[in-house]
Chain A
């Protein structure tokens, strides 16, 4: 059996009841690390704009979507360069 599944289940159980002290310790250690953004199903659906969640290799512009309007949220799609106003939509 793949132990990875059991490890993830154990982390989930512990994370649900994590103490403030341990959370702050993990947060502090994580702050020293290179940032990581993990893309999962939800993210792919949101960022790539495919309602079914299927990967879409014809979509090269993957803006954050404004969930209330259903339109691309251009401002918040630029979290890494807020001064960059040169927006080009490469594909609809």
Chain B
């Protein structure tokens, strides 16, 4: 699979990434430890680059930001956004986890979906994970009535980033 991802960051990190490449985030992020990119969702006219800019300016509130575009290639991936078999398997996993959650007398609203990715990290993982996530969970979008679909790409193996370019820099207003 070949996919293009967009990564927003601050001015200092732009220089570091340009010199030394990406450094994986800690394991507290959505899909676990990795390097995060936004992808395009053509069906919804959602631009990965715009999402990366929004994340840098509105979520992280960086005064100066840069956007990297990366070409990601690997045939060892998990795609729970578009791969029908992967989506079905993921739904079955979530259903099994929810069943256990209920057996323990816990409320559905307290279910932590990221435990699936914690389990995934225990078992071993693919080079990258693609998932359609709800970005409305992130500030400053908390009062959104609508959902905010985002295509998240979490890189677990840096070697699948084949090319990487700084495509935009700017100042937040």
Q: Which residues does A use to contact B, with CB under 8 Å?
A: 2-5, 7-12, 14-16, 18, 20, 23-24, 26-27, 29-42, 44, 47-48, 55, 57, 60-63, 77-78, 80-81, 84, 87-88, 90
Sorted nearest first, the 7 A-B pairs with minimum C-beta distance are A30-B112, A30-B115, A55-B43, A4-B78, A37-B134, A8-B89, A36-B30
Q: Is B126 an interface residue (CB 8 A)?
A: yes
Assess A7 versus B78: contact at CB under 8 Å? Given A15-B97, A87-B145. yes
Q: Are A2 and B76 in contact (CB under 8 A)?
A: yes
Assess A37 versus B79: contact at CB under 8 Å? Given A5-B85, A7-B124, A61-B145. no
Q: Are B147 and A34 in contact (CB under 8 A)?
A: no
Interface residue tally for chain B (C-beta within 8 Å) = 56
- Residues on A with C-beta less than 8 A from B100 are 15, 18, 20, 23
Q: Is B169 an interface residue (CB 8 A)?
A: no
Contact pattern, B 131-143, Cβ under 8 Å of A = 1, otherwise 0 = 1111011000011
The contact of B28 among A18, A32, A42, by CB within 8 Å, is: A32
**Chain A: minimal CB distance from B116 (Å):** 7
Most chain A beta-carbon neighbours within 10 Å: one of B85, B91, B115, B134: B115
- Residues on A with C-beta less than 8 A from B91 are 40-42
Q: Are A11 and B93 in contact (CB under 8 A)?
A: yes
The contact of A84 among B87, B104, B112, B143, by CB within 8 Å, is: B143
**Chain A: minimal CB distance from B70 (Å):** 19
Q: Are B146 and A60 in contact (CB under 8 A)?
A: yes
Q: Are B112 and A27 in contact (CB under 8 A)?
A: yes
23 residue pairs A–B, Cβ–Cβ below 8 Å: A5-B89, A7-B78, A7-B120, A7-B123, A8-B78, A11-B116, A15-B116, A18-B100, A23-B100, A33-B112, A34-B137, A36-B31, A36-B117, A36-B131, A37-B133, A41-B87, A44-B132, A57-B45, A60-B146, A62-B146, A78-B145, A84-B143, A88-B145
Q: Are B76 and A3 in contact (CB under 8 A)?
A: yes
- Residues on B with C-beta less than 8 A from A48 are 147
Assess A30 versus B118: contact at CB under 8 Å? Given A5-B89, A16-B96, A40-B132. yes
Assess A14 versus B123: contact at CB under 8 Å? Given A8-B93, A30-B112, A80-B142. yes
A54 to B75, CA, bound (A): 26
Q: Which residue of A lies closest to B134 (CB)?
A: A37
- Residues on A with C-beta less than 8 A from B101 are 23, 27
Q: Is B107 an interface residue (CB 8 A)?
A: no
